[in-house]
Every structure is written in structure tokens, then in C-alpha cells.
Amino acid sequence: MTDTKGTVLITGASSGIGAIYADRFAARGHDLILVARNLGRLTDVAALLKEKHGVQVKTIAADLGSEEGLSAVEAVLAEDQAITHLVNNAGFGSAAPLTAADVRDMQAMVAINVTAPLRLTYAAVPRFIARGKGTIINISSIVAIGPEILNGVYGGTKSFLLAFSHSLRKELAGTGVNVQVVLPGATGTEFWDVAGLPASNLPTEWVMSAADLVDAALLGLDRGEFATIPSLADAAEWDAWEAARTAMLPHLSSREPAERYQR
């Protein structure tokens, strides 16, 4: 039995980054609950990891874009006392500009990339606070910093995750609940096929493997890092951005418009 390490619930674990998280947490001795729509792929991942690492692996076939799917995963998060980690990873993107994108696809993207992690976090946090321990990992993207890079709605959804993570970190300080936000750059997964721009179109020097991405992100987690950007060579660039943002905070609300807006 390995449940003393706690169970990790990972959304979008049937492929790509989520499947690698599953492998790496199983290698650390964690039991797993894997969520995605494709039960066949989930079952294959689960069988492989049980065999390879000797951990318990449950699967939940759920469409996180549906109320039924969300409620099923929320119930597990709220009730399963063994869950110690939530990895909000399921998501999809698009490379289409506004005029070429179907607005219903954009709305579906908001449901998976924003509403699902929001709902699952709200389900997990009260139990994590009650036990004084827990970890939430939100898979954002570098487009949270550069929403102009791909589809704008995709950038907006990932900016939400960065902003939400900032707030969670502040609100959960002192509760024992840890928050990490991961901002991958281009990563070699099926994401790019779904987004309509297969990764083979990108310069190879831009594209990290999912294995390298997750290993770097877990190193960041082990170091207690809040925001992990595995591709960013100079961490001081993030620190400078954060310093500029936080320096501005005390100046963002006042009774009078700034002098430049006065006639």
C-alpha cells in the first residue's frame, strides 16, 4: 500500500502533459485518480502505471465541459479523504484568430480551461484546509503573459489561471495548502493538433518534450516555487515583471482621475 503519500487527482491524464504527471507522481509512490473523456486511453495509462510503479490508479471518464462530468469529479474531490493533490491540467487551445474561430468553440474552451479548474478547486480547497495540507497545481501557459501569441480567448483562459493562482496563493497562505502555477511554452503534445497547428510546423528549438516540461515543473514544486516557467532561461525576467506589477498595486485606486485625465 502506498496511500500514505496521498492520492493525486490529475485532469487531462489520458495524454500529453497530464499522462507524464501521472507517471512522475506514481514514480514518487502516489496513488492516482485520472480524469479525461477517453476511457480507453485512460485505462491504458492506468494499467501501465499500476504495472510500472505498483500504485493504485482509478479512472474517471468525464467530460469536464458538462455539468454531469464536473459534478462527478467534484464529488470525488470533496469526499475522498486520501486526495492530497489536484492537478488542473485538462485543456485545449486554438491558433485561430477571432474572425476564423467559431464562437461556440471559444465558449467550450472557456468551460474546460476556466470553469472546470475553478469548480474543481472550489471542491478541493475546503477539505485541504480542514486537513491543513494539500497542493493545487494549475497548468497555465506562457500565453498568460503573452495573450497575443495564439488565439486570444485561449490566452485569456490561461491569464485567468495565472490570476486565480495569485489570489489562491494569497488567500491560502498559512493554511498548509500550497499553490503552484506552471507556464509551459510550446510542448510536443497533441495540443497542437487540436489547436489546428501541428507542432511539426514549429521551429524544433521552441518545442520542449512533455517529459522535460513536467520534470522541470516538479523540480519547481519541490523548491516551493509559485510560478514555474520551464523555458525561461533568466528567472530574473519573471521577478522583474512581478516587481513592476506589485509596485503598481498601491497606485491603482484613487478618488481623483490621474492628472493626465484632467482637462
Ligand X SMILES: NC(=O)c1ccc[n+]([C@@H]2O[C@H](COP(=O)([O-])OP(=O)(O)OC[C@H]3O[C@@H](n4cnc5c(N)ncnc54)[C@H](OP(=O)(O)O)[C@@H]3O)[C@@H](O)[C@H]2O)c1
Binding test (CB under 6 A) with ligand X, winner from 9, 32, 83, 112: 112
Q: How far apart are CA 21 and CA 216, in angstroms?
A: 11
Q: Which residues contact 184 (CB under 8 A, 6 or more apart)?
A: 17, 139, 141, 142, 208, 213, 217, 230, 231
Q: How far apart are CA 151 and CA 94, in angstroms?
A: 5
122 given a catalytic annotation: no
- Assign 83 to helix, strand or coil: strand
User: Taking the complex as a whole, how short is the minimal distance between the CB of residue 178 and ligand X, in angstroms?
Assistant: 20
Residue 44 lies near ligand X (rule: CB under 6 A): no
What is the radius of gyration, based on Cα positions, of the chain? 19
User: Taking the complex as a whole, how short is the minimal distance between the CB of residue 124 and ligand X, in angstroms?
Assistant: 16
| Nearest residue (CB) to ligand X, 81 versus 107 | 107
Residue 238 lies near ligand X (rule: CB under 6 A): no
CB 179 within 8 A of CB 168: yes
Residue 65 lies near ligand X (rule: CB under 6 A): yes
Applying CB under 6 A, the span of 60-68, 96-104, 144-152, 225-233 interacting with ligand X comes to 60-68
Closest CA to 174 of 128, 113, 222, 121: 128
Binding test (CB under 6 A) with ligand X, winner from 6, 86, 93, 179: 93
Residue 186 lies near ligand X (rule: CB under 6 A): yes
Contact residues toward ligand X (CB under 6 A) are 12-18, 36-38, 41, 63-65, 89-93, 112, 139, 141, 184, 186-187, 189-191, 194
Q: Which residues are catalytic?
A: 154
